């Protein structure tokens, strides 16, 4: 079957709440999915990618990792840990031909569950999964001599 060419770690979890209402269990759960899960998945593919001298690891991040909000006491720090992990991995793996990138999402992804929870939001509020996928393909198809570490994807209709 060959070596894994690309890992896309698209797992995210976090309960919404402020610092005072966030339980330690909720905080730890968010860290397990966002940071520890990213590490565990990466450790599964890194040896084969290094042996092949090529590969791509793409984490699906969130702009909450750069600027937390009042209701992201568990999610934002866990995504920040994931972002730091990606940066550390990128610096250690590039000499072996493995690119590590971060696809940052700055929107709510258009899924049936999010539509049910936000029925009053217009289409322009949501980011289409295809837009995320096309960006991931771009990150995975860069030539060995070029590298984009971080891309932020927003819906086109976002109001600035």
Average pLDDT by stretches of 10, the chain with 160 residues? 89 87 95 97 98 97 91 94 97 96 92 90 89 95 87 77
Q: How many domains does the chain have?
A: 1
Nearest Cα residue to 101 out of 13, 14, 10, 3: 10
| Domain membership flag for residue 112 | yes
CATH code, 145: 3.40.50.720
| Domain membership flag for residue 160 | no
Look up the domain containing 144 and give its range.
6-153
91: buried, middle or exposed (CB in 10 Å: 19+, 13-18, 0-12)? exposed
| Domain membership flag for residue 145 | yes
| Domain membership flag for residue 159 | no
| Domain membership flag for residue 44 | yes
pLDDT per position as a tens digit, 70-97? 999 999 999 999 999 999 999 999 999 9
| Domain membership flag for residue 118 | yes
Prediction pTM value: 0.91
């Amino acid at each position: 079957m060959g070596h894994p060419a690309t890992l896309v770690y698209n797992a995210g979890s976090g309960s919404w709440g402020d610092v005072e209402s966030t339980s330690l269990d909720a905080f730890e759960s968010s860290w397990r999915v966002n940071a520890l899960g990213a590490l565990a998945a990466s450790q599964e593919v890194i040896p084969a990618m290094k042996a092949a001298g090529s590969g791509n690891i793409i984490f699906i991040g969130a702009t909450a990792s750069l600027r937390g909000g009042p209701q992201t006491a568990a999610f934002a720090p866990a995504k920040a840990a994931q972002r730091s992990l990606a940066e550390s991995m990128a610096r250690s793996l590039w000499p072996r031909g493995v690119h590590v990138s971060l696809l940052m999402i700055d929107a709510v992804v258009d899924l049936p569950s999010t539509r049910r929870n936000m029925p009053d939001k217009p289409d322009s509020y949501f980011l289409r999964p295809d837009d995320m996928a096309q960006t991931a393909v771009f990150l995975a198809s860069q030539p060995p001599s070029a590298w984009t570490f971080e891309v932020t994807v927003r819906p086109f209709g976002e109001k600035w």
